[in-house]
Amino acid sequence: MGRLRSETERSEISHDQLRAMQLAKLRAGLPDVLATNAFWRARLHDVRGWDDFERLPLTTKSQLMADQASAPPFGTNLTYPLDHYVRLHQTSGSSGGHPLHWLDTAGSWEWCARIWAQHVYRAAGVTGDDRVFCAFSFGLGCLCISGGAMTSEQRVHTILDLGATVLLSTPTYALRLAEVARDGGVDLARSGIRVTIHAGEPGASIPSTRDAIEAAWSAVSFDHTGMTELGPTGHSCSARDGVHLIESEYIFEVTSEGELVATNLGRWGMPLVRYRTGDRVVASREPCSCGSPFLKVVGGIRGRVDDMFTVRGVNLYPSQVEEIVRRYREVGEFVIEHRRERQMDEVAVVVETLVSDFPVERLEADLRQALGVRLGCRVVAPGTLPRSELKARRVVRL
């Protein structure tokens, strides 16, 4: 009964109630941070209302990196003595520079795990009966089979042998595992995987990429957003047209340039306040058919703010190119080569395919029609482009 009622409340919570809940959570957590956390004490002030909140400064990843570099290894964003922390995570460092180290207390870690159970897994219909195969270095809830330190071939066989029902991976890596299975004569439709959940890249919100993953795995694919230093922030829903941001556990803002800014409301051991995520989004408050009261990021995260490239005055993101390229099932990997010559941006899409008569001109025409500018395309042999088990690097600047 209690559970039923809380679900009803969740779907009927008004925006004002949500705002009041956010402010109450922030006001409950902030006093400890202001008292003992050296990083935030120097930056924040007490928050009584939204006016106070909006006067807090924005924080960037480079400020966090500089702090950890000047007070190694964990920096000064620590609310409690070190022996209160039980888990360490680290960012992939894929954007260059040193990875960030992120520590959780037992309470902060429970907060992350609860968000996975109550929001991410629930939206995907994953229950305690599922067996989750995790190709990331972490896994939460359910029986989680960790796929670290294995080759891709070993991972395919482990998924089959152990009867995994849920796959967690980047979208690119789900396609890579399908490629490995096919090369090894393994039929993935025979596997028990019924749900795939993807993070790290926007792919699971790009219809053509999601279609390719669902076809390869005979499964239903969901998008999940989150960051090592922030926590799990959102998930796609039955409407399949975007990602809901979990506003009961975060405060989200979008800058005038379209960058997502987030404040977490429960990871108090190493919190982030008004953190610039670097993700470019278009947000909507239109009611969703799934009943979620949360803000929706339309079409998922469009890309990283610094991944944008310009061709003859038109601003483009890799996800717009991906939506077209993934319609061609014969393409394995692809990258966008960006070259600046004599003040001109030259961009070429390089696709990897087995097919000898791949229709390059048709792909060029499709890209031109969808994006409004001409991008040259080039075909290379399979295995030429680098493979990544983490985030694929889509834009190569030459």
* Interface with Zn ion (CB under 5 A): 237, 239, 288, 290, 292
- Give the C-alpha separation, 373 to 241, whole Å: 25
- Which of 320, 115, 92 has the alpha carbon at shortest distance from 205? 320
How far is the C-alpha of 334 from the C-alpha of 385, rounded, in Å? 7
Q: Which is nearer to Zn ion, 175 or 301 (CB)?
A: 301
Q: How far is the CB of 226 from Zn ion (least distance, A)?
A: 17
Q: Closer to Zn ion at the Cβ: 290 or 373?
A: 290
Q: Which of 221, 232, 215 is nearest to 197 (CA)?
A: 221
CB of 7 to Zn ion, least distance (A): 15
Q: What is the Cα–Cα distance from 245 to 111, expressed in whole angstroms?
A: 16
Q: Smallest distance, Å, CB 207 to Zn ion?
A: 16
What minimum distance in Å lies between the beta carbon of 223 and Zn ion?
A: 12
In the complex with Zn ion, the residue whose CB is nearer, 213 or 288, is 288
* Closest to Zn ion by CB, 63 or 284: 284
Name the minimum Å distance from CB 299 to Zn ion. 13
Decide if 336 contacts 309 (C-beta within 8 A). Answer: yes
319: tokens are 């996800």
Give whichever of 294 and 317 is closer to Zn ion, judged by the CB atom: 294
The per-residue DSSP string of 330-387 comes to: TEEEEEEEEEEETTEEEEEEEEEES-TT--HHHHHHHHHHHHSS--EEEEE-TT-SPP
- Tell me what percent of the chain is helix, strand and coil, each rounded to the nearest 5: 35, 25, 40
CB of 168 to Zn ion, least distance (A): 21
Residue 237 or 385: which CB sits closer to Zn ion? Answer: 237
For residues 105 and 109, what is the distance between their CA atoms, to the nearest angstrom?
A: 6
